[in-house]
Structure 1
Amino acid sequence: MNARSRWLLISVGLGVLLNPLNSSMISVAIARLQNVYRLDFTEVSWIIFSFYIASAIAQPVMGKASDLFGRRKIFLAGLVVAFAASLAAPLSPSFGWLIVFRVVQSIGTSMMVSVGMAIVRVHITEKQASALSVMSIFLSGAAAIGPFIGGVLIHWWDWHGIFFVNIPIVAAGFLLAWRTIPKDEPPAPALRNMSWRQWITMIDAPGILLFAAGLVALLAGLLSAKSSAHISFGHVLTGGIGLIALVAFVRHELQASSPFIPVRTFAKYPEMTRINVEFILVNVLYYSLFFGLPSYLQMVRHVSEFHTGLLMLSLGLCSLAASPIAGRWIDKSGPGPALLLSAILMALGSVWIVTMNQSSPAISVCVALGAFGIGNGLNSVGMQAALFKSAPKEIIGVASGVFMTSRYLGTILSSLLLGIVMGDTFSAGGFRLLGVILSVIALLLVFMNWRQRVSKPLQ
């Protein structure tokens, strides 16, 4: 790999890491934001919802936009948007404005994730597998160290630091990207002559609007009812509108020529559907702990943001360490054994959470984090390998898009679960209840993977 390719890899990596970095740093800031804006946990959880809903929509849309406007233009535009959002978010006059800037930040960082891998594939032809593995390190490494960086920044500069830290990264990334990413080739005539009506049809704008409106309304109805401790007509109406919008979304996707989420694919390939359902459950487990444990440590056990970040570092490091080992194991034995062990580890970690109390030593917290971290490392490789085995080659692009959507849905559901279980504030009892629920989900995963292993020889 020549020097130009290495600099291109670094410039793309600096942009790509911003999305996982900002989605993970916030986990340590939730307790501080709750105190600053005087919100209950249900309300402050929208800082998580907003980012992942926006990412779930923006990444596939911006991937299609890059075909029309050019990958370099979209990547550079994403850096500008991320810069503006990171500068404005710390100056937010209210929590509502913070949510708005958080959504803008999510869109900007998603613009880079959606086209970053494509830029590497197109412009680095020498040792491409190594280049893609470096991109994976940028993505997974940023997510792994995000809570630690967030804890350090909040300890020294308050919550504003988790936004300001993006500014030098974005500035360096923009300068490098401007110099190293080759100019875009002119789009194909069919894309260049595409009208706005055709563009809206291609990205499935009606489907996106129904998906976003339905999800937000349903979440708002459920969380508002939990927050107020009673169910009113307004809560039922809001949740009902959300359900109706989601049903309309499914009907629309079945008829759309270019669907945002290809619903028909799930019915046609049941094995791929099973893998996506498992991936949703895995992400519910992982992110419930990822977002829930920092608030528990800070609000119940009064651990500082700095030490919370240090503890959370064990989760990311275990995940990073397990991934290459999982790759070699899966190459030899297939994804089945690794996925079964992952489910068992997450079940043990969930049961361990139930046994924890306010006097449990720090090593006890690390045991749970280690189990979930190793499990996540096995899953990150195993689920992807299982997807490639189950999806026909001619739809692998669609399958990968659906797979990423499943990840975001699992993350959103984990935030919903935390909001419902915790309600107004975090408590030791609520955290134990969360552990019980996670244990049930993890045991369901163990059963699904064990059943798959037993039934496979009979097929």
Structure 2
Amino acid sequence: MNVRSWWLMLSVGLGMLLNPLNSSMVSVALPRLQHEFRLDFSTVSWIIFSFYIASAATQPVMGKVSDIFGRRFIFLTGLVITFAASLLAPLSPGFGWLIAFRVMQSIGTSMVVAVGMAVVRIHITDKQAAALSVLSMFTSGAAAVGPFIGGVFIHLWGWTSIFYMNIPFVAASFLLGWHVIPRDKPPAAGAGHKLSLRQWMKRMDATGILLFTAGLVALLAQLLSAKSSGHVSLPNVLIGLGGLILLLAFVRHELRSELPFIPLRTFAGYPALTKVNIEFMLVNLLYYSVFFGLPSYLQLVRQVSELHTGILMLSLGLCSLAASPLAGRWIDRSGPRPAMLVSAILMALGSVWIIMLTPASPVLTVCLALAAFGVSNGLNNVAMQAALFNSSPKEIIGVASGLFSTSRYFGTILSSLLIGIIMGNQFSFSGFRVLGIILAMVAVCLVFMNRRRRKTKHL
């Protein structure tokens, strides 16, 4: 690769790391935000899954939008939106405003992620696999060290610093991108720039996006509201039912749409692909329940500082990073299923270890659970992607990859919802143990699913 290609990769990598970095740093900030805005735990959990709801809606759509407006334009616009959100979020007069700016930040970073990989694929043709692996190091590395960085910054300068720290990354990525990302070719006549607003909204499936987002937000909000208040009121029931109706309308619309936001018919046509996505959603439910739950346990139950919490959480990311390259070699020889089985066993053992923790257990013993989940995540990062490729026909691999990303976000959203429902108003040791029991049950189900498939393969 020439020097310009390396500068292009640096620009894209600095932009793409913003999404995983901001989704992971906040895990250490929850107790501080809860105290700052005087909220119960389930309400402050919205800072997590509002980010993922926005990402789940934005990333698939930006691929279509970039075909009309150009990838370079979408990439740079996403950075500008992220820059604005990072400046405004610390100035939020209330928690509602903070959520709004957090959603804005999610949209901006998702725009960058959605087109960043495509920019590299199109403009770097020499040693492309190496280029993509470098980008993967940016994103996985950011997710791994996010809690540590967040813990250090919050300890030294408060929760607002985790937003301000984005500014140098955004500025560097924008300045480099402005100079090294080639300008997009003008769209062909009739490719989209002459479409009417109605035609453009149909092409983007604006109706599907609206139904999906509104339905999911309504349903999750009322579930959390009912848990926080301790009773189910008639307005809660009506709004929750409204959310369910909107989601059912979303399914009906997607099945009829020519250009669906999420092509649900793909699942029906390829059962193996459906199973992979379900497994990926469960894996992320397990991983992110620990990722978001353990920092709150350490700070609110064990009274560990943000700094030391970040240091302890670093074991999760480092184990994940160390396991990924080893997983690649193993999977090349044996296929993805053995690695997925071992990953499920490790998550089951980690969940059991969480259940066995007591208020007198040394804090460092938490690292054993973190290490188990970290190694399992490193295995799954490679194994689940390989399983996706094995189960998806080449002609729909683009659609399959989009659905795969959506499954990841569903898993993270469900993890945030699960923690919020279990904990309610206050994060407690007993609630943390209940969380461990539920995670152990899910992990055991994954063990049996993968063990059964191995037996079926041998038969």
- For the superposition of Structure 1 and Structure 2, which TM-score range results when normalised by the shorter chain? over 0.9
1:305 aligned partner = 306
CA RMSD of aligned residues (A): 0.8
Where do residues 40-439 of structure 1 align in structure 2 (5 Å cutoff)? Answer: 40-191=40-191, 192-439=193-440
CA deviation after TM superposition for structure 1 residue 101, in Å: 0.2
Deviation by residue 1:63-111 (Cα, 9 ceiling, x = unmatched): 1111100111111111110000000000000000000000000000011
Give the SS at the match of 1:425. Answer: coil
Distance 1:357 1:159 in 2: 29
CA offset at residue 288 of structure 1? Answer: 0.3
Alpha-carbon distance in structure 1 between the residues aligned to 2:45 and 2:376: 25
Letter in 2 for 1:182: P
Task: Report the equivalent of 2:448.
Answer: 447
Gaps spanning 5+ residues in structure 1: where?
A: none
Between 1:310-319 and 1:448-457, the stretch displaced more is 448-457
**1:378, CA displacement in angstroms?**
0.5
> What amino acid is the match of 1:343?
A
**CA offsets 1:237-261 (integer angstroms, 9 cap, x no match):** 1110011111111011100001111
Whole-Å separation in 1 of the counterparts to 2:133 and 2:203: 31
Aligned to 1:38: 38
CA–CA distance in structure 2, aligned partners of residues 359 and 43 of structure 1: 29
Alignment of 1:16-35 (within 5 A): 16-35=16-35
CA distance in 1, matches of 2:262, 2:183: 31
What is the number of equivalent residue pairs in this alignment?
A: 458
Deviation at 1:193, TM superposition (A): 2.7
1:173 deviates by: 1.1
Cα displacement (A) at 1:169: 1.0
SS of the residue corresponding to residue 259 of structure 1 reads coil
Residues of 2 paired with 1:188 and 1:295: CA distance? 52
Cα deviation per residue 1:312-358 (whole Å; 9 max; x = unaligned)? 00000101111111011000000010000000000000000000122
Amino acid at match of 1:311: L
Which amino acid in 2 is paired with 1:279?
F
In structure 2, the gaps of 5 or more residues are: none
Q: TM-score scaled to structure 2, two decimals?
A: 0.99
d(CA) in 1 for partners of 2:13, 2:431: 39
**Partners in 2 of 1:62 and 1:259 — Cα distance?**
14
Give the drift of 1:195. 2.5
> After superposition, what is the alpha-carbon deviation per residue over 1:43-82, rounded to whole angstroms, capped at 9, x for unaligned?
0011011100000111111111111001111111111100
Aligned-residue identity in percent? 71
Task: Judge which range, 199-208 or 325-334, deviates more.
Answer: 199-208
Aligned residue identity for 1:180 = V
Could you tell me how far apart the structure 2 residues matched to 1:267 and 1:150 are?
42
Q: CA offset at residue 202 of structure 1?
A: 1.4
CA deviation profile, 1:276-313 (whole Å, cap 9, x unmatched): 00011000000000001001100000000000000000
TM superposition shift of 1:456:
1.8
Mapped to 1, the partners of 2:195 and 2:398 lie a distance apart of 22
Deviations along 1:146-178, whole A, 9 cap, x unmatched?
A: 000000000000000000000111111111111
Separation in 2, partners of 1:400, 1:190 = 27
Deviation at 1:359, TM superposition (A): 1.9
Deviation at 1:201, TM superposition (A): 1.1
Distance in 1, matches of 2:457 and 2:196, equals: 49
Q: Which whole-Å CA distance do the structure 2 matches of 1:449 and 1:377 have between them?
A: 17
Q: In 2, distance between residues paired with 1:189 and 1:210?
A: 31
C-alpha separation in 2, matches of 1:388 and 1:190: 34
Can you list the C-alpha shifts for 1:199-233, whole angstroms capped at 9, x where unaligned? 21111110111100110011011111111111111
- Give the match's secondary structure for 1:190: coil
Please report how far the alpha carbon of residue 457 of structure 1 lies from its aligned counterpart in structure 2 after TM superposition: 2.8
Secondary structure of the corresponding residue to residue 230 of structure 1: coil
Amino acid at match of 1:297: L
Structure 2 CA distance for aligned equivalents of residues 19 and 107 of structure 1: 9
Q: Whole-Å Cα distance in 1 between the matches of residues 71 and 399 of structure 2?
A: 19
Separation (CA, whole Å) in 1 of partners of 2:257 and 2:363: 52
Aligned partner of 1:8: which letter?
A: L
Q: SS in structure 1 opposite 2:231?
A: coil
CA distance in 1, matches of 2:8, 2:266: 36
- AA aligned to 2:204 is I
Structure 1 residue 189, shift from structure 2 partner: 1.9
